[in-house]
Structures are given as C-alpha cells and as structure tokens.
Chains A and B, each alone.
Chain A
Amino acid sequence: MADTELVPTVIADNAHIIYRIHGSIGPHQSSPLSSFKRLVTRQKSTAVREVHAVKGASFVAYKGEAIGLIGTNGSGKSTLLRAIAGLLPVESGGAIYASGQPSLLGVNAALMNDLSGERNVTLGCLAMGMTPAEVKDKVADIIDFSGINERGDFSSLPMRTYSSGMGARLRFAIAAAKKHDVLLIDEALATGDAKFRKRSEQRVRDLRAEAGTVFLVSHSEQSIRDTCERSIWLEGGVIKADGPTDDVMKEYETFVKK
C-alpha cells in the first residue's frame, strides 16, 4: 500500500459514551408517597438512569474504507455512530476525531410525520446545510431515487401514511443526496425491497468512490459482506474484533451460535 492511501478520516481514542434516560419509573415508584420517600432518604432517582453504552472504543478509519459494524442488539453500534457524527457527547478522557462533518442516516432519523414527503425532503436537505437553490434542484432527483412515487403520487401525502419501508427509503435518499466525507448508515439498507437495496448499495459504492469513508450498521450479514471489506464487532460496548470482514464475521458467528 502506498502512503497516500492511508489518510485517516475518523479516529476514536478511548471513547466512552453514556446515555441519560429519563422517565423509566419502576412499578414500585408510581405513587407520590414513594417519590417523597426517595427524596427524603436521598436515594438516587431511578427515573434518571445512566446507560454506559460504549466502553472505551479505539480505532482508526481511513479514506475509501467501508466499515461494517456488527454485534447483537443493544451492543452500542448505533450509539457509536451517533458519537462519530457528534450528536452524542463523548465522556471526558476520550475523544473521537473526524474529518469534516460526518452525516448519520438512520431508519429512526425523525423527520416530521405530519408533513408531505416532498416537504420533508426540503426540510432534511436544509438541515444538512444546503442552500434553497441546491434544494430546489435536488428535490425531484431525491424523490425519484427513493422510488416512493412508483405506486402513484405519494410524495405529496403526509409521511405518516407511508409504510416503514417507504419512509426508510426516503430518508436514505435524502441523506445520500449530499456528498459526505464520512457517511454513517444505520440499518437503512435493510428495510427497502430487493430492488431498492440494489440501488442503494450502488449509491454507497458511489459515495465511497468519491473518497469518503462509510460506516454501515446492519444485521444483514449479506449487505455487510457485499459492501464492507473491514468490520468492527462490538459486544456490550466493547470492541471485540476489528479486521477483514470475513475473519470478524467468522468470530461473530461462532459467538452467536454458542
């Protein structure tokens, strides 16, 4: 490998991420009396809980790489992506460095459900920092790419009327409309139908060719194998393995089958 190929785009250095969750009141605390008792006895409120989702992740990602993140449910994959995007703060002591502004596109990226697909496209593009002129140019392309209009004029209907697959396709199409230094994809490819999956995988390859780095979280083994040559396996917030996809997959599979 030549020197020029190894330009780091994302560096994680001992990153710890802690979530605070409000409102998880247990069954024994639903009366005012028990809340009062808690205050008087100075017990730590169980309504605010901390979840240590990622525990000291360190890795370096380079330009042109596509990295798959695998792991069982709740292993911290999505949290790690959010931290790389700078949406969740990293606890002091560690840090995540990234080139440019990484963009996260996930199936649960909340757009406004009461608005039409078309207005959501405008809103999403503006939120990514595009100018209104750029947005105007791109709206038709994005709706075309998402394919939501294949069964009639859905783009003018509110998003709450969409099937989950259609919503995910539209969100993917919005995020993929912009060139990113670092693109983070959270399960987005899993929800579309086969035809859309093919198209979106092509788009991911195009984005990579434009010299970015792609992170992909997915439970579909196939889409990770198809798009990523490197994988990171997270388990309980700790990186268990990091290397070529085939090797990591093998380790992961023996772990899951246990």
Chain B
Amino acid sequence: MAQTTVVESYTGPSPKELARKYGLGTAGRLPSLPEYTRLLWAYRHFIWEFASAKVSASLGNTRLGMIWQVLTPLINAGVYYVIFGVLLNTSRDTHNFIAYLCAGVFIFGYTQSVVQTGVQAVSGNLGLIRALHFPRASLPISITLVEARNMIASMAVLLAIVLISGEPITWQWLLIFPALVLQTIFNAGAAMLVSRLGSKLHDLRQLIPFIMRVWLYGSAVLYPVTRYTEHLHGWKLAVIEANPILVYIELIRHALMENVELAGTPTLLWIEASVWALVVGIGGYAYFWRGEKGYGRG
C-alpha cells in the first residue's frame, strides 16, 4: 500500500522508468525500416481507397466524370499533332514522327504529373496528417497510383495512335509492361523524395515547373534523340543519355515502333532503367521514412 502512494504522488520512479515498467511507447516514435514496410503493407487498402477517392473527388464535379481520363491524353496528343505535325511539320526527317512524339509526351507526362502532385503530397494533406495515424508514405504512394491509373488510359490512347500511324503489332509490344513497372517504381521514389523536400521547403513548388521544363528538353520528347549525338560530345552526351526519363521513353519507343533510332542498345537501356528504378525507388523510400516523425509539424 505504501508503494501505491509513491506512484500516486509521483515522486518515486522517473517518468521514463514508469513508462518502461508498464510498456508504454514514445508517442510518435520512428519505427525501423522493416517495421515501417510491414505497417505500410497493412495499410495497402487505405492507400488504394485513398487513391480512388482522390480520382473521384477531382473528377466528381465535372459533367463528363471518368471520361476525362481518356479525353485528357487524347486532347494532349491532338494538340501536339497540330503544332508539330501540321504547323511546324517537324515530321519530315523522322520516320513516323507522330507515334514517336506521342510516346515521348505520354511517358514524360507520367513522371511530370507524379512530381508535380507529389511535391504537395505532404504539405497539401496536413489536416489529414494531423488528424489520423497512418504511415505517411501512403500519401506519395497513392499519388503515384492515381497517376498510374491515368497512365493506363493514356497507354490505350497511345497504342491506338501507334496502330493508326501504321506500325505492326509485334511480340515486342509486351515489353511496355516491364518498362512501365520500372518507371512506376522510379516515379514512386521520386514522389517520396519531392514530398519530403516539399514539406520542408515550400519554395520548391514554385521551382518545379522550371525544373520539369528543363527536364523536358533534355528527354528527347519534342525532337529525335539523334539531335543530341549530332550536337553534344563527351560527358555532356553521357549525362543526357543517362537521363532516366529519356531511358524510359526510349524503351517504350523501342517496344512499340519498328526502325527507330535509339540512344543506346536495348540491353544498355534496360540496365539503366532498372538501376534508376532501384536507386530512386529505394533511396526515395528511405529518405521519406527518415522524416516520418516530423511531417505533422508543418
């Protein structure tokens, strides 16, 4: 009985000892990386639901609703066709330029929209973060999922364009699946990277459009990849040709089109694509996890 009064009047064991004695954990403790991964896996249903909730919330108040998922890439391709195919007539020197261009635009657009929304994945959901407990990596991952779902519609449009433009269907078309999986891993890593950076450095959001613009010009989207070999040499060329988005675009072009000039041999491109996916995917995940405790602070 005497011991009870000691606990009650709170002069006995230090708070730390008391916490350990009754097995209390520190609120907001950083779990280990494997523990965090398991937790994230347990929240997979939440991630999925959050992603579909985001899609229906953004399209729910439009009249056409989900049709926009197909309409957006179609209009996108149409605009580029009018500007580059009809007005500027860039297609003279490149074989099947429209298919070449659309593959670039859609694949680049995938990473671009993930990075653009990812930079706000944490800072734009502070209310949710401060109210509910879930592994924060759910947010950038859901954003990647949303864009991946949009990408499925875009790919359907792209395949139609490629077919109409006169390319034959070959077994090589199946290669778009591993290429897209690698790009999705890369994108998820990039989303986690920029969402942690964006949660600390709010100025980053203003810079992202310019960074993406420069990246666009360095990814052989609007003009053939052979332009680089004509004008650049040495390390500059090496840097451009190691550009991850360029690698992913080239893989899709290689899969869908015949007689297309590539930046490197397909084997080299596949190795580069895998290395980029692994480095950015795992690196971005680990970097995001390190910051888990502080996201609520704002």
Contacts and interface: CB of A to CB of B under 8 A. Distances in A.
Interface stretch (A68-76, A109-117, A142-150, A196-204): A109-117
Interface of B (DSSP majority class): helix
A7 interface: yes
Contacts of B29: 86
A6 B8 contact: yes
B202 A13 contact: no
A19 B19 contact: no
A2 B4 CA distance: 8
A3 B3 contact: yes
B218 interface: no
Contacts of A238: none
Contacts of B18: 8, 11, 60
B24 A90 contact: no
A86 B31 CA distance: 12
A127 B127 contact: no
Given A60-B18, A82-B130, A88-B296, A97 B24 contact: yes
Contact of A11 (B24, B49, B61, B132): B24
A18 B298 CA distance: 10
Nearest to A105: B131
A132 interface: yes
A40 interface: no
Given A13-B16, A85-B133, A126 B296 contact: no
Pick from A1, A9, A88 the residue with the most CB of B within 10 Å.
A88
Nearest to B202: A22
Interface string A1-37: 1110011111111000011111100000000000000
Interface bin, chain A? 35 or more
Contacts of A114: 56-58, 60-61
Interface residues of B, number: 45
Given A19-B298, A60-B15, A101-B133, A123 B53 contact: yes
B23 interface: yes
Contact of B45 (A6, A85, A87, A126): A126
Interface of A (DSSP majority class): mixed
Contacts of A18: 297
A222 interface: no
Contacts of B34: none
A119 interface: yes
B293 interface: yes
Contact of B28 (A7, A20, A89, A109): A89
B161 interface: no
B22 A83 contact: no
Given A6-B7, A22-B298, A98 B57 contact: no
B43 interface: yes
A89 B134 contact: no
A86 B133 contact: yes
Contact of A97 (B4, B25, B127): B25
A7 to B, nearest CB: 6
B298 A127 contact: no
Contact of B296 (A87, A98, A129): A87
Contacts of B57: 112, 114-115
A169 to B, nearest CB: 16
A88 B28 contact: yes
Contact of B129 (A87, A112, A132): A87
Given A60-B15, A88-B130, A89-B297, A126 B49 contact: yes
B50 interface: yes
Contacts of B14: 13
27 contacts: A7-B22, A11-B15, A11-B19, A20-B298, A22-B202, A22-B298, A83-B28, A87-B129, A87-B133, A87-B296, A88-B297, A90-B28, A97-B15, A97-B24, A97-B26, A99-B23, A101-B133, A104-B132, A108-B127, A110-B125, A110-B127, A114-B56, A126-B46, A126-B49, A129-B42, A132-B45, A158-B60
